[in-house]
Amino acid sequence: MTTLPIRNSRIRLTQGSLFWREVGYGPTLLFLHGNWQDSSQWVALMEQLGRQFHCIAPDLLGFGESSRLAKRKYSIALEVECLTEYLTSLRTQPHVIVADAIGAWVAVCYSLQHPDAVQGLIFMAPEGLADPILDQRWQRLRWLASAWSIRVWALRLAIPLLKLVERDRWLLQIWRKRQKLLRYAAACQLLFQRRPKVLQSEQLNNMLPQLKTPVLILHPQRASSTTKLANTIFHELAPNTQLATLPEDEAASWETATDIIQAFMKTEAMNTTQPYLR
């Protein structure tokens, strides 16, 4: 069966332009990408689901082909504001939101603001959870993503020589990691480059008990320890949440999620309580 063509579009909003991909007709599925991603993360899923659902996948503000903010004043509240304006302009509301990592953080806050609009949420590895182990992930990245530090300048001076002698490849890998972080400045600021009080004010732990929207969390058996921990914390705090245990590894879970999303649209989003286990 041939797939429907995915359309690329842009819209001018208060904070700048927003780029999105769109395909299909029917109930709306909104896809929100992860930390180091953009809407292209969802192309394969959208191609599979486009004959049954209206699929839309924006690049969040500061990501992909959407606008960057001049002063990098990113916040989850601003992402939600931008998403709300975008959906209002399209005159649509998402039936279900499918989201990864930082996209899940945005999706939860959007759902809390619009509890009657969203029928269900499907996540993996949600960000925005306060936990000492989860916080440790970002400590080593703060200096690497900073505009200036002694270690960054030392690394910058060493790289040309290392390339010539082809030694210390681990340092080259660190440098490439820095280049990737700089490409995702919005993600860095949202995750670990804000003042602690500002970051804490947007974390989800105290909000999740008020989340009434049904949530399905994809829980790969071969996921990283941080993904498993984030999934578990979310499951414990949000009252209407199920874990879908998957045999695949973390990288393959979204690629094989078509059947689960289809089942969720027919059951959980219709206020039933069938378990999602494979």
SS3 10: strand
Contact of 46 with 57, CB cutoff 8 Å: yes
Higher pLDDT: 71 or 45? It is: 45
Which structural domain range is residue 44 located in?
A: 7-129+204-270
The whole-chain average pLDDT of the chain stands at 87
Domain shared by 186 and 100, yes or no: no
Predicted TM-score of the model (pTM): 0.89
Instruction: Report yes or no on 2 lying in a domain.
Output: no
SS3 268: helix
**Of 192, 216, 232, which closes a domain?**
192
Q: What is the pLDDT of residues 16-26, one digit of tens each?
A: 999 999 999 99
The secondary structure of residue 7, as a DSSP letter, is E
84: closest CA among 169, 164, 18?
18
Domain shared by 157 and 90, yes or no: no
93: closest CA among 28, 143, 183?
28
User: Cα separation of 22 and 98, whole Å?
Assistant: 14
Domain shared by 51 and 111, yes or no: yes
Domain shared by 112 and 230, yes or no: yes
Contact of 143 with 242, CB cutoff 8 Å: no
CATH number of the domain that 91 lies in?
A: 3.40.50.1820
Considering its fold, how many domains does the chain have in total? Answer: 2
How confident is the model at residue 175, as a pLDDT?
Answer: 62
User: Cα separation of 109 and 242, whole Å?
Assistant: 19
User: Cα separation of 19 and 11, whole Å?
Assistant: 7
Instruction: Report yes or no on 79 lying in a domain.
Output: yes
Nearby residues of 12 by Cβ (< 8 Å), 6 or more positions away: none
How confident is the model at residue 274, as a pLDDT?
Answer: 40
- β-bridge partners, 96: 29, 120
Contact of 145 with 178, CB cutoff 8 Å: yes
Domain shared by 229 and 264, yes or no: yes
Q: What is the pLDDT of residues 126-158, one digit of tens each?
A: 999 999 999 988 887 776 776 655 455 455 555
How confident is the model at residue 98, as a pLDDT?
Answer: 98
Domain shared by 113 and 75, yes or no: yes
Q: What is the pLDDT of residues 175-232, one digit of tens each?
A: 677 778 888 999 999 999 899 999 999 999 999 999 999 999 999 988 999 999 999 9
Instruction: Report yes or no on 13 lying in a domain.
Output: yes
Higher pLDDT: 255 or 216? It is: 216
